[in-house]
Amino acid sequence: MSTLGISATAININSASKTRRTPVVGYTPLKISAGQSIGRFVIDKKIGQGGFGEVWRAKDQLGRFFALKFDHLQAECDFDQEAAAFEQIQANGGHATIISFLGKEKDGDLSYRIFEYVQRENLLSHLGGVVEAEGRGLSFTQSLTYLRQIAGGVQFLHGIGLLHNDLKPDNILIVDDRELKIIDFGAATPYPAGLYGGTPMFSSPEKLFMHQIDRRSDIFSLGIIFYYMLTREHPFASQTIADTKAVANIQSGKISLGLYSLPKEIRSLVSRLLAHRPEDRFQTCDEMIRAIDHAIETAPKAETIWQAWMRKATRLAERLLYRFADLKQKYLHRKIG
């Protein structure tokens, strides 16, 4: 049960770190290295390291790559929250936007979960690395396409009675411009839930306040991801995604960058996703997806928020110039007259 979640008092709201299970303090590092054989795999390279474990790329005898996920607390793997969630997902046929889980195996004392391997990076490193020619974030079209994809996976998940409960950019893998995969179901839980987990700065206000959470909590996290794709800024933190002020701002409902700069089709979507009170948010993924589809049809195409700002600023500057020229003319006329 200790891997199920953290006790309510264990959430450190001032920490951007993850709190979904018992914090792993003083664990013995896993002794895994490239070239090592584990079960039917040969370990290749480390591709992820969290507070709770390590993810390694490994090859099987046919030369195919897989992602193997090892928990630091190997002894606690008797109840495996992530494997349990994936068993439920598989029993319901799985979903194209959810990473394929290929089972759990053990070699000696070492147990690990096996996943399909996704070659490209996660959304966080993609946004950290991507510097678009003329813009800060992804284009409206690309951000909406990605949001629609993730929403489809989350809709499936909610439909089988689960919350992901840790939606954030590093838990989304990019396959290509149209396809994403949701990973990391270590905090997934049936809802409504009273056991918490996930990452504070991507959590809904009700989770941070330790109220009961339901589907709307995941919807709020999707709002943060969407805003981050558009602006490359966390909506509740002014400078950087690591800004821990975000947590206090989420609790008070203070969006740091404001919504005024977004085109109105996108602005209404973001404000429903990030509404402070769950009652003011989209209540279900169906409702959210209808709004995303509407925004896809109506929002400016292939433009970044930066380009939209520039367009607005140019229009404003032009108007001011005309006004100034007009005033000058009137002044000269009056002087001559």
Ligand X SMILES: Nc1ncnc2c1ncn2[C@@H]1O[C@H](COP(=O)(O)OP(=O)(O)OP(=O)(O)O)[C@@H](O)[C@H]1O
Please report whether residue 51 would count as binding ligand X according to CB under 6 A.
Answer: yes
**CB closer to Mg ion out of 47 and 213:** 47
**CB closer to Mg ion out of 198 and 278:** 198
Which uninterrupted H or E stretch holds 288? helix 285-298
**CB closer to ligand X out of 171 and 231:** 171
Can you tell me the distance from the alpha carbon of 283 to that of 309, in angstroms, rounded to the nearest whole number? Answer: 31
- Residue from 83, 71, 135 nearest 109 by CA: 71
Tell me which stretch binds ligand X (CB under 6 A): 21-29, 46-54, 86-94, 308-316: 46-54
In the list Mg ion, ligand X, none, the entry touching 118 (Cβ below 5 to 8 angstroms by class) is ligand X
Q: Could you tell me how many residues of this chain bind Mg ion (CB under 5 A)? A: 2
Which of 98, 180, 183, 213 is in the footprint of ligand X by CB under 6 A? Answer: 183
In the list ligand X, Mg ion, none, the entry touching 56 (Cβ below 5 to 8 angstroms by class) is none
**CB closer to Mg ion out of 171 and 307:** 171
Please report whether residue 23 would count as binding ligand X according to CB under 6 A.
Answer: no
In angstroms, the Cα distances linking 141 to 41, 96, 122, 299 are: 40, 21, 19, 8
Which of 50, 198, 200, 235 is in the footprint of ligand X by CB under 6 A? Answer: 50
Please report whether residue 171 would count as binding ligand X according to CB under 6 A.
Answer: yes
Can you tell me the distance from the alpha carbon of 304 to that of 90, in angstroms, rounded to the nearest whole number? Answer: 37
Pairing of strands 101-107, 65-71: unpaired
Q: Is 70 helix (H, G, I), strand (E, B) or coil?
A: strand
Can you tell me the distance from the alpha carbon of 218 to that of 221, in angstroms, rounded to the nearest whole number? Answer: 5
Which of 56, 115, 227, 236 is in the footprint of ligand X by CB under 6 A? Answer: 115
Tell me which stretch binds ligand X (CB under 6 A): 45-53, 218-226, 275-283, 289-297: 45-53
Strand partners, 69: 55, 113
In the list Mg ion, ligand X, none, the entry touching 52 (Cβ below 5 to 8 angstroms by class) is ligand X
Phi and psi of 109, rounded to 5°? -85, -5
Q: Is 133 helix (H, G, I), strand (E, B) or coil?
A: coil
Q: Is 43 helix (H, G, I), strand (E, B) or coil?
A: strand
Please report whether residue 171 would count as binding Mg ion according to CB under 5 A.
Answer: yes
**CB closer to ligand X out of 23 and 48:** 48
Q: What is the DSSP string of 213-282?
A: B-HHHHHHHHHHHHHHHHHSS-TT-SS-TT-THHHHHHHHT--SS-STTS-HHHHHHHHHHT-SSGGGS-
Can you tell me the distance from the alpha carbon of 138 to that of 266, in angstroms, rounded to the nearest whole number? Answer: 13
Please report whether residue 229 would count as binding ligand X according to CB under 6 A.
Answer: no
Please report whether residue 186 would count as binding ligand X according to CB under 6 A.
Answer: yes
Which of 41, 52, 140, 236 is in the footprint of ligand X by CB under 6 A? Answer: 52
Amino acid type, 77: C
CB of 67 to ligand X, least distance (A): 3
CB of 65 to ligand X, least distance (A): 8
Tell me which stretch binds Mg ion (CB under 5 A): 166-174, 205-213, 216-224, 295-303: 166-174
Residues that bind Mg ion (CB under 5 A): 171, 184
Residues that bind ligand X (CB under 6 A): 18, 47-48, 50-53, 55, 67, 69, 99, 115-118, 122, 170-171, 173, 183-184, 186
